[in-house]
A and B are shown apart, each in its own frame.
Chain A
């Protein structure tokens, strides 16, 4: 049962990482235009360097 002492914190930490990542995406407006983002990935503009 000692393994629980590692596993429970690890599972909580991983879940927390997911939660924080989700909150970050919401805050940085990444769900404003789902259709557009799905299409933009196909565009080859800014493939060589990121948009300034």
Chain B
């Protein structure tokens, strides 16, 4: 050990210069994150922590019930795959999360920062308000001056700390010669402080320290609400991403090793097991299987795969193990190139101006002009700079967008909370506003309106004996069609026939021997049948003509109701799919959708959405596949189910957490209501201004009136928003 250490140190010349530090390599502990969707009580917490801490290698395990997650610090060779069975034995569902995709600590820093500023502003405003109340109730002369000085001593440092976000925003807007909502806020706060200090120094009657602080407090509360809503959505979205731990099996000299997908290089040999997703683009070196490409192209029919064939990242391997040689990894894969399309399409959406921006555009210049006019007017009329400045400050404080700052965040918080409880995640700040404007809904087929799982449709066409044979063969395979066939047959009360020597031929099907005859269940060509337009598995018994078991894609729960509800609310519903004509037509007729397009390429989908936009329509796109991502980004607003590919979820504004599609129709209603509330809130804020501003302009406003106007308008606005819950 000693020899090893000394040779190790000598190898590094830099280490020789620092002899004090012993060269003891401490292996870093690994962080493992597990998602525990089933935990809900104190007993769950105790059991999970006890089980995990008892496992060798685990140093510390802590459950977070709010996030339904366990964070585990463990010795370097501990793997999540070892811990999950431990929890499953204890009766808890557990999934591994990729700690790299969870940036909770970093995101939380911003939230903590805002919370701290909010606390300081709250503390200072309460104390100053206490002093101000005594001034309003009649403190005079020396007492009043002293109270004003104490207020100043509290207000100045408190505002210097807590109003920093506004100052920073206003400065960055001014630097590029623009006006935003933070410019009048900053100006009002600063002007109020300056005039109040001046007044206090001259032992004047009115000081606005309390107004400056309450203003900061209310506005920070709005910011914090806004932040919390988005942070909750972000952490839930992160969790969805983190559930797909990017690992792959690399074969080096015939030995399999699990590595991170990021470490794969071009030329690596990679093993993809049945059920696994291709981590990279590559060429199949050995193995036979079938590939499910529905997430990439929208086709439901599995594609046959054998050595020599090219595969793209994102395709799912269905039946046999495949060995690939990587041809493109990471950013170069077709999956990522498709994601770049999204970036281009998305730039169009960022041009959307939210209601808050529209209000700010009208409001900021108006306030500045009004305040400047009253300053000039009073200066000409009275010739007194002090009076004029005081009145200008009062106008700015009274018009200050306290209620406007709360109007939008309070409503979006209430609406997002309501939709989250129904299983929808609002990812984008203006998603609700855009959703409320939609008049056209475009659905993708595979994986969106349908669940992507096949459903046997013609069980009744076959005799019991035939189905018994088919069931025996189907149960030997994990292919989706076999699984579905076996499920349907079992539900019909059928028992498997006694088929012997069953073997699965990956990529083709299963075969065996039944009463001395060879029997096969599988692809059309393999059993000697002609492939039709529909998804089907074929059964051949001896030399008899093959029998078709036909499948249709099962409808996602709530799809029918969602489409009906959307049509009932006067929206135009379209179906655009990459799947074959027959399948798309059948589904469109089932749901009563008259406008449908089949065999659409990803570019066609995006183009179609662009055409609808050019006609002045506001399109809601609902899709899940990689072939939908460009369309999702091009649409006015977009929704994707949680089962969607990561790229599609990133491109969409709203993620549907449950399996049910019905919340979509609900979300449209909620969005319309939310937008109505936001408009109402703006109106309420305006009414307060219409009453209070004339008082300020003619010089009758006192700090008491300013405080009353500010608090009542903020509270009314928040209460109005709460009606949405």
A residues neighboring B (CB under 8 Å): 1, 4, 8, 11-12, 15-16, 18-19, 22-23, 26-27, 31-36, 39-40, 42-43, 45
Is the beta-carbon distance between B123 and A19 smaller than 8 angstroms? yes
Given A1-B143, A40-B42, A43-B45, are A11 and B127 neighbors across the interface (CB < 8 Å)?
A: yes
Q: Within the complex, which residue of A27, A36, A43 is in contact with B64, where a contact is CB–CB below 8 Å?
A: A36
CB nearest to B119 among chain A residues: A22
Scan B119-160; emit 1 where CB is below 8 A from any A CB, else 0. Answer: 110010011001100000000000100000010001000000
CB nearest to A39 among chain B residues: B42
B residues neighboring A (CB under 8 Å): 41-43, 45-46, 63-67, 108, 112, 115-116, 119-120, 123, 126-127, 130-131, 143, 150, 154
Is the beta-carbon distance between B150 and A19 smaller than 8 angstroms? no
Question: What's the nearest-Cβ distance from chain A to residue B315, in Å?
Answer: 39
Q: In the assembled complex, which residues on chain B have CB atoms less than 8 Å from the CB atom of A18?
A: 123
CB nearest to B122 among chain A residues: A19
Given A26-B116, A43-B45, are A12 and B66 neighbors across the interface (CB < 8 Å)?
A: no
Is the beta-carbon distance between B66 and A19 smaller than 8 angstroms? no
Main secondary structure of the interface of B (DSSP, over half): helix
Contacts A32-B66, A33-B66 aside, 18 further interface pairs with beta carbons under 8 A come to A12-B127, A12-B154, A15-B123, A19-B120, A22-B119, A23-B119, A31-B115, A32-B64, A32-B108, A33-B64, A33-B65, A34-B66, A35-B66, A39-B41, A40-B45, A43-B42, A43-B43, A43-B46
Q: In the assembled complex, which residues on chain A have CB atoms less than 8 Å from the CB atom of B127?
A: 11-12, 15
Ranked nearest first, the 4 interchain pairs of A and B with the lowest CB-CB distance are A36-B65, A39-B42, A35-B66, A35-B65
Is the beta-carbon distance between B41 and A15 smaller than 8 angstroms? no
Q: In the assembled complex, which residues on chain A have CB atoms less than 8 Å from the CB atom of B41?
A: 39
Given A1-B143, A40-B42, are A26 and B65 neighbors across the interface (CB < 8 Å)?
A: no
Question: What's the nearest-Cβ distance from chain B to residue A2, in Å?
Answer: 11
Q: In the assembled complex, which residues on chain A have CB atoms less than 8 Å from the CB atom of B46?
A: 43, 45
Q: Within the complex, which residue of B45, B123, B126, B130 is in contact with A36, where a contact is CB–CB below 8 Å?
A: B45
Q: Within the complex, which residue of B67, B115, B119, B120 is in contact with A33, where a contact is CB–CB below 8 Å?
A: B67
Is the beta-carbon distance between B120 and A36 smaller than 8 angstroms? no
Q: Within the complex, which residue of A4, A23, A32, A33 is in contact with B116, where a contact is CB–CB below 8 Å?
A: A23
Q: In the assembled complex, which residues on chain A have CB atoms less than 8 Å from the CB atom of B65?
A: 33, 35-36, 39
In the complex, A1→B140 CA distance in Å?
A: 12
Question: What's the nearest-Cβ distance from chain B to residue A18, in Å?
Answer: 7
11 sampled A-B residue pairs with Cβ under 8 A: A8-B131, A8-B150, A18-B123, A26-B116, A26-B119, A33-B65, A35-B65, A36-B63, A36-B64, A39-B41, A43-B46
In the complex, A42→B44 CA distance in Å?
A: 12
CB nearest to A46 among chain B residues: B46
Question: What's the nearest-Cβ distance from chain B to residue A29, in Å?
Answer: 9
Q: In the assembled complex, which residues on chain B have CB atoms less than 8 Å from the CB atom of A11?
A: 127, 130
Question: What's the nearest-Cβ distance from chain A to residue B407, in Å?
Answer: 26
Most chain A CB within a 10 A radius of its CB, from B42, B108, B143: B42
CB nearest to A37 among chain B residues: B65
Is the beta-carbon distance between B115 and A26 smaller than 8 angstroms? yes
Q: Within the complex, which residue of A15, A26, A33 is in contact with B112, where a contact is CB–CB below 8 Å?
A: A26
Is the beta-carbon distance between A19 and B119 smaller than 8 angstroms? yes
Q: In the assembled complex, which residues on chain B have CB atoms less than 8 Å from the CB atom of A27?
A: 112
In the complex, A32→B65 CA distance in Å?
A: 10
Q: In the assembled complex, which residues on chain B have CB atoms less than 8 Å from the CB atom of A35?
A: 65-66
Q: In the assembled complex, which residues on chain B have CB atoms less than 8 Å from the CB atom of A12?
A: 127, 154
Most chain B CB within a 10 A radius of its CB, from A11, A12, A16: A12
Q: In the assembled complex, which residues on chain A have CB atoms less than 8 Å from the CB atom of B116?
A: 23, 26
CB nearest to B113 among chain A residues: A26
Given A11-B127, A26-B115, are A42 and B120 neighbors across the interface (CB < 8 Å)?
A: no
CB nearest to B154 among chain A residues: A12
In the complex, A32→B63 CA distance in Å?
A: 11
Q: In the assembled complex, which residues on chain B have CB atoms less than 8 Å from the CB atom of A42?
A: 42
In the complex, A11→B64 CA distance in Å?
A: 37
Q: In the assembled complex, which residues on chain A have CB atoms less than 8 Å from the CB atom of B45?
A: 36, 39-40, 43
In the complex, A44→B612 CA distance in Å?
A: 62
